[in-house]
Amino acid sequence: MWRGLATVAAATAPKSSSLLELKTGEKFKATSFGAPLSISGELVFTTSLVGYPESMTDPSYRGQIIVFTQPLIGNYGVPNRDRDQLGLLKHFESERVQVSGIVVSNYSAKYSHWTAVESLGEWCARSGVPAFTGVDTRALTKVLRENGSTLGRMLVGGPDGANPIPFEDPNRLVSKIFYHPKCSPPPLFSASASYVIYFLY
């Protein structure tokens, strides 16, 4: 099957110097390339080599800050919102970004893929998700591996450029408890087929 040329575009350049701070005391200098928003939450890491759009829209990561161990993220951009014959998104796990923030070692300011429609930085900024690059994710992952998931905060602009925010555990929020799962009513797919699919989101 013939494919057209890959889309190549320059993403928005990384913006301000920022700081990732863990409740256990570790601090990592970073550069912000997503939404200019300081947040706190639970840090977890993923060793997935590909599929950052799928990981970021996975409801199981709702409210968490994902650390990607893959050293280069963003090089194939963010795909379109095409749907399959059942009406499900082909390239995403849900209808919206579920994570609170992302942390990467190296963000690719240019992307190239035939399905790409925007850069990772543009998608994060549009979705209100802060994103940090330039972090030693190997050292950070080692901390998370030894201590388990850890509370942290992403301070855009650094400690002097952000309003003080507490370390907030999303698992203790009543709103999170009542959020999952919700479907009112649940979307129905393939009603006329020999099987029925309900989509919880």
Residues 6 or more apart from 72 whose CB is under 8 A from it? 105, 106, 108
Average pLDDT of the chain is: 83
Q: Is 57 within the bounds of a domain?
A: yes
With b meaning 16 or more CB within 10 Å and e meaning fewer, what string describes 126-146? ebebbbbbbbebeebbebbee
Residue 1 in this model has a pLDDT that exceeds 60: no
* Confidence band of 48 (pLDDT split at 50, 70, 90): confident
pLDDT of residue 136: 96
Residue 27 forms part of a structural domain: yes
| Confidence class for position 162, pLDDT limits 50, 70, 90 | low
Q: Among 28, 26, 67, 22, which residue's Cα sits nearest to residue 40?
A: 22
Answer whether residue 45 shows pLDDT above 90.
yes
Q: Is the pLDDT of residue 177 over 80?
A: no
Number of domains in the chain: 1
188 occurs within a structural domain: no
In a domain, 180, yes or no: no
Which range scores top for mean pLDDT: 3-12, 24-33, 163-172, 187-196? 24-33
Backbone phi, psi, residue 200, to 5°:
-90, 135
Q: How crowded is the C-beta side of 96, counted as CA atoms within 13 Å?
A: 11
pLDDT, tens only, 124-139: 999 999 999 999 999 9
Classify residue 201: in a domain, yes or no: no
In a domain, 183, yes or no: no
| Residue 189 domain flag | no
Q: Is the pLDDT of residue 151 over 90?
A: yes
pTM for this model (two decimals): 0.80
Identify which has the larger pLDDT, 44 or 179: 44
| CATH number, residue 167 | 3.50.30.20
Range of the domain at 60: 7-171
Residue 195 domain flag: no
Arithmetic mean of pLDDT, 79-90: 87
